[in-house]
Amino acid sequence: MEKSDVVIIGGVAAGPKTAATLARRNGALSITLFQKEDLLSYGSCGLPYFASGDIESFNGLVETSYGIARDADFFENIKGFKAVTGAEVIEINRDEKYIIIKMLKSGETIKHGYDKLVIATGANAIKPPFPVAESSKISSFTRPDDAIAFRKAAQTGQVGKVVIIGGGFIGCEMTEACAGLWGIETVLIERENQIMPFVLDKEMAEIAKREMTRQDIKVLTGAEVQKVELDSDNNPVVYIDGHAPITADYVFLCLGVKPEVTLAKNTGLTIGKTGAIAVNSHLQTSDDNIYAGGDCIENKNKITGQPFFIPMGSLANRHGRVIAENITGNKAEFSGVLGAFLVKVFDTNVGAVGLSQMSAEKAGLKTNAVWGTFPDKPDYYPESQVFVLKLIYDADTKRVLGLQAVGAGDICRRIDSMSALLQQNATLDTLIDFEHGYAPPYSDALDPLHHLAAMAKSGFDFISPLTNDEKDAYLWLDVRETSEFEEAAWPDEMKNRIKNIPLGKLRSRAKELDTGRPILVTCMRGLRSYQAAVILKQSGFDNVHILSGGFEASQQ
Amino acid sequence: MEKSDVVIIGGVAAGPKTAATLARRNGALSITLFQKEDLLSYGSCGLPYFASGDIESFNGLVETSYGIARDADFFENIKGFKAVTGAEVIEINRDEKYIIIKMLKSGETIKHGYDKLVIATGANAIKPPFPVAESSKISSFTRPDDAIAFRKAAQTGQVGKVVIIGGGFIGCEMTEACAGLWGIETVLIERENQIMPFVLDKEMAEIAKREMTRQDIKVLTGAEVQKVELDSDNNPVVYIDGHAPITADYVFLCLGVKPEVTLAKNTGLTIGKTGAIAVNSHLQTSDDNIYAGGDCIENKNKITGQPFFIPMGSLANRHGRVIAENITGNKAEFSGVLGAFLVKVFDTNVGAVGLSQMSAEKAGLKTNAVWGTFPDKPDYYPESQVFVLKLIYDADTKRVLGLQAVGAGDICRRIDSMSALLQQNATLDTLIDFEHGYAPPYSDALDPLHHLAAMAKSGFDFISPLTNDEKDAYLWLDVRETSEFEEAAWPDEMKNRIKNIPLGKLRSRAKELDTGRPILVTCMRGLRSYQAAVILKQSGFDNVHILSGGFEASQQ
């Protein structure tokens, strides 16, 4: 039986990263990696962008920046470890410390011993809870083959209409991939009542959904698929509760992924309550000699302290490093995750870090939130673009719990800075102490995070952009200039309901609002409303609310 | 004598911000602001972009985003305080708590009492240490009039050639303003041996200087101006030690600014060792009833703990909020500054946060540094751009001291995240724990900060991109592919000196390097060199050094 010091199962992200780091730290180690597929270390997060044609050649996903394929030779000659492809590990024997591998081409079965084992088996597409016909025109989207097959079909004009089932990250990315470059008629179906459920709060997801609608995507939320069948031409037909069936040339099942834990489970390793492999902070499983990393493990959420399943290529790479450090004797910890993510939805950037308000409430926290619409550079600078931010914080302790961002402007910078701030258990005061880089071509004198923290500290009642459904509860006050008010494309019913007093006249005309009704102050982005609320409060009104983020966020 | 609860001297950034926050917090306060100039609250950092024509109308700098001028009416009706312009404060009487104001139009002198006084007198252009002729064609660049006069002259084709004396932030911004849109022949003169001295280390400044040279700017560093005279046509002539005199149509003196402390000094307030007004963490001066903020005060550097003069509009705004909180009884602290900045130099973005390596060494710290050239998105994604980063850290404690960034890629995001990390006294491990937002359209699976921290922890000797001047000390090893090596536009002398062994062949050919000389490993961006150094070390070579950041940073 051949034996290596370290054996790694899985060759996409966490596996190769572990192996390469191990080989760098200790050139004397023998390291063998087994990968079921033929491809190694491919940029799996780039697959939607290969499908879309944004990335021209598939090679881009499997080559280094200097054009060398990341194949077994590359890993042996450059990175210093052995990678075996087409090799499915089918058993782990922990007592005798070996694994059994089935070589997929030859069908041969071999045993390979280890001192330390690393499980990086990734995640698989979740199987649909409804019946789905067998067809090459119906597929999930997790493997290179899925992307290659679709692109071939799209390129040769065989795809006129696509239905995507599932509005999570991959579903949203695939929506753009289909409709963007290929101009395919695209329908996105999501069972929950919003896209990107659980990770984005509904009012923020609505902004991204509006962008999809602008791009002629039909988005059905709260829509339960019953079955996917084939019609007499062998085209897929999607049946949806309460909707007419939709016939398409291609159907993508983007229902998310679940951790691949079969091997771990069969060998008796502890599986966490999220269904992923349980690990300690050194990424050790319940067997000291077995580590695990990447999409198959359970992370700790840094904010709630609870187990958290979050498959993400960036975390997989960071897991790899931590595992290698520990195996080579340099104690390293993986302290947990904050849940930072970014998704491109056509011209709208979407991202978040920390908890959504919904997740925070579910975790038993008492939350508060403020929203703001901000330009990413000073308004006077050309090419400034806006985005909407939502800051979620603990109503009692003022600890910051999360930030969500949607818009055309540069949100990445804010998601990353907030992530760095949350790494230190940020409170509202930490945000106020944040020192951003400032110069007019890049940013404004105060960062949006400063404004959000000041709003949160102000004690005013900032209400969600979604709340404008509850029109009757409030006397609506629009404090924009009269010309802006008049240019607004209100439905008549709305226009009659809203009172317009420009901010500059509010001090003198405040008494006109003395109706006893609660006042909802509105403007374009929310900053004028904040100032108006101050004026009203100082004029003796005590039931004043602010439509947070303004019309830009609520799109009234 | 009229009297206000709070009197504020200065109306550009810290002054109006203090006044507006005060009025929001306590509507019952009487607040009066005196401003010497006619304009209030103008975006002074935007002046170079008005001069360049990037910002079309001057109104952009004095209006809110919804098109309302920030004049005395705006502040009275909307923000709730009184602003008096053309009003120069000429004396502070601390015993009797009043100030004397000279009304510049009428020449009248008035007394105005205060309970709390706020000094926000800003900074003034440093007077040149060499003789300068009086002329409308020679000016500093700190006031709106400077920008308006230049733009008028440029627009009417009166300016064919400009000399800018001083290569700091404003000098660099003005270089782009002149040459960029107006196509003016521009010469930049800096006394130190690099542009942006003190804030950027020399090898990083060299990258920005190369961009200027590519844009046909003549940059003279280490060049001491002797005098600026007028020729017989009344055009300015700049005399420089060791250079031929340069005649121009316009000369800008951008020698930096010094805090305006005359009033503070005359009334006996403590002036710090930087020459700016000394304040405590509540931004109180040595007189409890007098606060100061903005460009006239001395900040505490968060990393060294030492006093630090850093005039910056973003800090001025944050000072204003802290002063207002303290005056209204909500104890607030300004914890110090990290020195974050951003500057646009044509198509190159320049920024830093924390200490430069030079400043850190001056402050008595024992430092180490690593450099890297990174794409701002995955290489396979279209439109990815590179930048060079330098990470400076304490050689003993591994505390991170600073980050510098230069390049076409998105540096803002990295400067801001690093600033947030430095807010918590980051070490190399803090960087490794950083969770950035990842998706291929925006970023790579590992953030550049992760790579830099891993390099710093590796124990290898990363040497500065500047060190390639010392060609003879090393056996140069280029580990790029042979085709890349051959395409390089080396001078012959260099080509003969460099040995090329592609990284993939290094394990088998390492013995060819057995010359006993120290080896300097090089490649395009530095990552291959790092891997090559690992291979060499594991092959028994112990005198291996890495040209950090690669040829891209050193531009060999």
The amino acid at residue B404 is Q
**CB contact (8 A) between residue A380 and residue B61:** yes
Query: Region A129-147: what's the mean pLDDT?
Result: 94
pLDDT for residue B470 = 67
B129 assigned to some structural domain: no
Query: Region B382-406: what's the mean pLDDT?
Result: 96
**CB contact (8 A) between residue B440 and residue A45:** yes
Shared domain for B373 and B435, answered yes or no, is: yes
Give the H or E element holding residue A112.
strand A109-119
In this complex, which of A61, A438, A447 lies closest to B380 when CB atoms are compared?
A: A61
A425 vs B: CB within 8 A:
no
Helices (H) and strands (E) counted in chain A, each on its own, are: 18, 29
User: Which residue, of A423, A458, A493, is where some domain finishes?
Assistant: A458
**For A430, phi and psi rounded to 5 degrees?**
-60, -40
The number of distinct structural domains making up chain A is: 4
Query: Region B8-28: what's the mean pLDDT?
Result: 97
Query: Region B475-495: what's the mean pLDDT?
Result: 87
Q: How far is the C-alpha of B316 from the C-alpha of A48, rounded, in Å? A: 45
Handedness of CA A470, A475, A480, A486 (dihedral sign): positive
In this complex, which of A74, A415, A439 lies closest to B344 when CB atoms are compared?
A: A439
Summarize pLDDT for A79-107 with one digit per residue, the tens.
999 999 999 999 999 999 999 999 999 99
Nearest to A24 by CA among A320, A356, A435, A384: A320
A 49-78 residues with CB < 8 A to B: 49, 54-55, 60-61, 63, 65-68, 73-74, 77-78
Shared domain for A249 and A149, answered yes or no, is: yes
CATH number assigned to the domain comprising residue B33 = 3.50.50.60
Query: Region B461-490: what's the mean pLDDT?
Result: 85
In this complex, which of B314, B380, B484 lies closest to A55 when CB atoms are compared?
A: B380
A342 assigned to some structural domain: no
Query: Region B496-525: what's the mean pLDDT?
Result: 92
Question: Would you list the DSSP string of B502-525?
Answer: -GGGHHHHGGGG-SSS-EEEE-SS
pLDDT for residue A157 = 87
In this complex, which of B351, B435, B535 lies closest to A437 when CB atoms are compared?
A: B351
Shared domain for B199 and B291, answered yes or no, is: no
Handedness of CA A328, A332, A338, A342 (dihedral sign): negative
Q: What is the pLDDT confidence band of residue B492, given thresholds at 50, 70 and 90? A: confident
Q: What is the pLDDT confidence band of residue A66, given thresholds at 50, 70 and 90? A: confident
The amino acid at residue B406 is V
B28 assigned to some structural domain: yes
Shared domain for B314 and B412, answered yes or no, is: no
State the alpha helices, DSSP H only, in A433-470: 448-458
Q: Is the pLDDT of residue B112 over 90?
A: yes
**CB contact (8 A) between residue B337 and residue A24:** no
Q: How far is the C-alpha of B353 from the C-alpha of B200, rounded, in Å? A: 10
Nearest to A262 by CA among A89, A33, A114: A89
Query: Which residues on A lie below 8 Å from B341 (Cβ)?
Result: 437-439
Summarize pLDDT for A448-461 with one digit per residue, the tens.
999 999 999 999 99
Which tokens go with A120?
Answer: 């990086």
Query: Which residues on A lie below 8 Å from B424 (Cβ)?
Result: 423-424
Shared domain for A361 and A397, answered yes or no, is: yes
B333 assigned to some structural domain: no
Q: How far is the C-alpha of B358 from the C-alpha of B381, rounded, in Å? A: 36
Shared domain for B489 and B534, answered yes or no, is: yes
Summarize pLDDT for A476-493 with one digit per residue, the tens.
999 999 999 988 877 777
A359 assigned to some structural domain: yes
B338 assigned to some structural domain: no
pLDDT for residue A515 = 85
CATH number assigned to the domain comprising residue A511 = 3.40.250.10
Question: In this prediction, what percent of chain B has a pLDDT beyond 70?
Answer: 99
Shared domain for B202 and B109, answered yes or no, is: no
A36 vs B: CB within 8 A:
no
Measured in angstroms, the CA of A125 and the nearest CA of chain B are apart by 19
Shared domain for B117 and B219, answered yes or no, is: no
User: Which residue, of A434, A458, A482, is where some domain finishes?
Assistant: A458
Shared domain for B160 and B220, answered yes or no, is: yes
Shared domain for B217 and B228, answered yes or no, is: yes
Q: Tell me what the pLDDT averaged over chain B comes to.
A: 95
Instruction: Give B156 or A469, the one with higher predicted confidence.
Output: B156
pLDDT for residue A470 = 67
Q: CA of A441: how far to CAs of A1, B104, B140, B186, B282, in Å? A: 63, 35, 22, 21, 31
Query: Region B389-403: what's the mean pLDDT?
Result: 98
Question: In the Cβ-directed half-sphere of A163, how many Cα atoms lie within 13 Å?
Answer: 23
Handedness of CA B49, B51, B56, B59 (dihedral sign): positive
Shared domain for A13 and A100, answered yes or no, is: yes
Measured in angstroms, the CA of B365 and the nearest CA of chain A are apart by 23
- What range does the domain containing A185 cover? 138-255
B132 assigned to some structural domain: no
pLDDT for residue B230 = 98
State the alpha helices, DSSP H only, in B57-201: 59-62, 72-74, 144-155, 169-179
In this complex, which of A314, A315, A433 lies closest to B335 when CB atoms are compared?
A: A433
Nearest to B180 by CA among B205, B217, B235, B223: B217
Nearest to B143 by CA among B61, B225, B65, B71: B61
User: Which residue, of A327, A360, A378, is where some domain finishes?
Assistant: A327
In B, minimum Cα distance to A336 occurs at: B433
pLDDT for residue B556 = 46
Shared domain for A270 and A158, answered yes or no, is: no
Question: In this prediction, what percent of chain A has a pLDDT beyond 70?
Answer: 99
B341 assigned to some structural domain: no
Q: Picking from A44-58, B216-230, B320-334, B421-435, which range would have the lowest pLDDT averaged per residue?
A: A44-58
Q: Picking from A57-61, B1-5, B541-545, which range would have the lowest pLDDT averaged per residue?
A: A57-61
Q: What is the pLDDT confidence band of residue A556, given thresholds at 50, 70 and 90? A: very low
pLDDT for residue A181 = 81
Question: In this prediction, what percent of chain A has a pLDDT beyond 90?
Answer: 88
Q: How far is the C-alpha of B483 from the C-alpha of B129, rounded, in Å? A: 53
Query: Which residues on A lie below 8 Å from B382 (Cβ)?
Result: 54-55
Q: How far is the C-alpha of B358 from the C-alpha of A397, rounded, in Å? A: 41
